[in-house]
Structure 1
Amino acid sequence: MLRTSLTFAKMTESAAKRLKTGDALAIGTHNGHFHADEALAVHMLRQHIPQYAGARLVRTRDSALLETCHTVVDVGGEYDAARNRFDHHQRGFTTTFPGRATKLSSAGLVYMHFGREIVARKLAVPEDTPQVGLVYNKIYESFIEALDAHDNGISAYDAAALAAAGLEKKFSNGGFTLGAMVGRLNPNWNDPAIEDPVAAQAAEDAKFETASRRIGEEFDRDLDYYVRAWLPAREVVVEAYEGRAEYDPEGRILVFKGQSAPWKDHLYSLEDQSPEAGKPLYALYPEKPVPGAKWRIQCVPASKDSFQSRKPLPEAWRGFRDEELSQITGIDGGVFVHAAGFIGGNKTFEGALAMARKALE
């Protein structure tokens, strides 16, 4: 008992000394086994909010030490944004991101309160700019929400519904999720133990820093993509969506004239905004943004992550190429139609458009 008390006192004294070192803010989180949510929460604050640049990390469960920290994430049993307390483990916590049903973790809490500033800084625009809201919501749905669900033990599918339908996984995906990626950076159960408690905590903290950088790299890559590629693509898709009646009276053909851009996400969003409008079935785009490029005709998927097309290309065309394909379709310039019927090609825009119109029949 005496040795245990001395060990705790030594760890407390060491942490207290760390708190007095330097002028940077201190971010507190729990020690022990770490998770993706607090690893990302720390990264978002340190790397994207100037106030936290160079912030010191204090990993402890000692409430007295946590009270000295400017900000606390994933520990402490308190959610109070005014006091910079962002825990989600307390009884009765039910907070969710606006418009979503998944209970937040510390990552979601930090992102909910600081995400608009992060996105606005990346875009170099005011936080109330509409584009900020688009990216802010998209990053939560595409990245943060999965971490919230993982940390709160929420499955992506309704287990009862899966069982009732008799559905089972066809293969193992190795459990490689964002949460698992961070989890495997924790020490192994049979790693040699470090006897000195201060050195042991320092080694554990170093592993956490590695985990925070690793999940942070993925977040930063997503942020960069949605700001630099996904958001500019929206204008391209809006133009094609609004001009589709030029190619089909019912608006079933999208044409991306200059260059193909990530279009599916934006298309479904635009459709949600005008559910009464006819839905596109085919998207046409050049293979390369150069004169004389070949053109592709791609079927619009039934839903975002579906492999099923709203209207596949005709079965009689599938698996054929070049002149043989042209003879079957009766359209010059045939290049190919995939055996699954979800995509095809023609040497010219006129040929691809003719394929789309004929496929509609």
Structure 2
Amino acid sequence: MFTRPLAFLRTMAENAAKRIKTDGGALTIGTHNGHFHADEALAVHMLRQHVPKYTGARLVRTRDPALLETCDIVVDVGGEYEPARDRYDHHQRTFTTTFPDHQTKLSSAGLVYMHFGKGIISRSLPDAPAEDNDKVGLIWNKLYDSFVEALDAHDNGISVYDSDALKAAGIEKRFSNGGFTLGAMVGRFNGNWNDTAPSDPVAAQAEEDGRFEQASQRIGEEFDRALDYYTKAWLPARDVVETAYKARKEYDAEGRILVLKGQSAPWKDHLYTLEEEEGERVQKVLYVLYPEKPTPDAKWRVQCVPETGDSFQSRKPLPEAWRGFRDEKLDEITQIQGGVFVHAAGFIGGNKTFDGALAMAKKALE
């Protein structure tokens, strides 16, 4: 083992890749060798783990056009976007494709998800509904928004915010979060610049391919968790939230209090969607009440609805005079029995009973 110049290692890797032969009868996924990124790592995972045609497919990592031409599907390399031929690269100058109703240019992850995602979701739902089913489309859009789009933006160098607008407003980041992204996580699987590498080109390529396999598996675990959540928890919660939304005026004539009976469920996304469907004139929900656990003696929470799903700012925080107090002292201040706590930031509080929690929410409206 000894250190080789980077250019020499690249040459060895290319030569090794050219010698790779496909196994008889096995389908092959092609992507580039060298430094890898989150988008092709996820694209390969989705194909291998969630698309029956490519289950168990071999992986060839190369930039050799002749070898890529022998692959059944190619992602993130080759300079072609031709779905009919299963070619999914996004690096060509003419490429401008985006996910429906979005502006972020797709990466190989977004391309594979856009073309194969509905099938992935359909097979993950009970009874495997048709790909054009409304529930499939709902999750297809949500999973792109919450997971895949960030990878597309990261790979295409698109910032979350307009940097010029931030600069003009004098806004600076309070801390660095660059190492806290899925892209950074995958990037750490790449070898360091000063790592020693095998002198044999086949061994060097195999070592690099092994790191890519680890990266693909790791980001795939995160994707699979997200897919599992949206198909098994998030989607069923929609019916729960919709039922509560329709009954909200039972607790407040203006519909500002929403009560989740029996058991809490993920409510934010669905609440925003239901409000949007009703239009701008509808009174927004300000407080959501739910039990801490699905038992008759459960304590109840009063949670303020955030201004947006990613915001720490509440539409109407709990009264400042209540914040940071607990138990008997909270009862004394609110004049409501059974108080448990109100968070110092005013975004959530609790009471021992539903009636107490409802009384807190109603008083907070005043």
Q: TM (normalized to structure 2)?
A: 0.94
Which of 188, 191, 211 in structure 2 is aligned with 1:187?
191
Query: What residue is the counterpart of 1:143 in the other structure?
Result: 147
Q: 1:327 Cα deviation (Å)?
A: 2.2
Query: What residue is the counterpart of 1:255 in the other structure?
Result: 259
Residue pair 2:18, 2:67 contacting (<8 A) in 1 also: no
Query: What residue is the counterpart of 1:110 in the other structure?
Result: 112
Equivalent-residue separation in structure 1 for 2:31 and 2:317 (angstroms): 52
Equivalent-residue separation in structure 2 for 1:264 and 1:274 (angstroms): 16
Query: What residue is the counterpart of 1:224 in the other structure?
Result: 228
Question: What secondary structure does 1:72 align onto?
Answer: strand
Instruction: Give the AA of the match of 1:340.
Output: A
Equivalent-residue separation in structure 1 for 2:200 and 2:14 (angstroms): 13
Instruction: Give the AA of the match of 2:319.
Output: P
1:1-361 pair list within 5 angstroms: 11=16, 14-15=19-20, 18-19=21-22, 21-123=23-125, 124-173=128-177, 175-275=179-279, 276-361=281-366
Question: What secondary structure does 1:148 align onto?
Answer: helix
Identify which range, 252-261 or 188-197, moves more after superposition. 188-197
Quickly say closer, same or farther: Cα 1:9–1:289, change in 2 above 3 A: closer
Give the gaps of 5 or more residues in structure 1. Answer: none
Equivalent-residue separation in structure 2 for 1:76 and 1:262 (angstroms): 42
Q: Which has the higher contact order (CA 8 A, sep 6+)?
A: 2
Instruction: Give the AA of the match of 2:304.
Output: C
Equivalent-residue separation in structure 2 for 1:141 and 1:237 (angstroms): 20
Quickly say closer, same or farther: Cα 1:12–1:317, change in 2 above 3 A: closer
Equivalent-residue separation in structure 2 for 1:302 and 1:330 (angstroms): 28
Identify which range, 284-293 or 323-332, moves more after superposition. 323-332
Quickly say closer, same or farther: Cα 1:85–1:360, change in 2 above 3 A: same
Quickly say closer, same or farther: Cα 1:82–1:335, change in 2 above 3 A: same
Q: 1:44 Cα deviation (Å)?
A: 0.3
Equivalent-residue separation in structure 1 for 2:93 and 2:161 (angstroms): 25
Instruction: Give the AA of the match of 2:118.
Output: R
**Structural RMSD (CA):** 1.7
Give the gaps of 5 or more residues in structure 2. Answer: 1-7
Equivalent-residue separation in structure 1 for 2:303 and 2:212 (angstroms): 44
Q: How many residues matched?
A: 355
Identity in percent? 73
Residue pair 2:14, 2:63 contacting (<8 A) in 1 also: no
Q: 1:323 Cα deviation (Å)?
A: 2.1
Q: TM (normalized to structure 1)?
A: 0.95
Cα deviations by residue, 1:149-187 (Å, 9 ceiling, x for unpaired):
000000011100110111111122352211111111011
Q: 1:136 Cα deviation (Å)?
A: 0.7
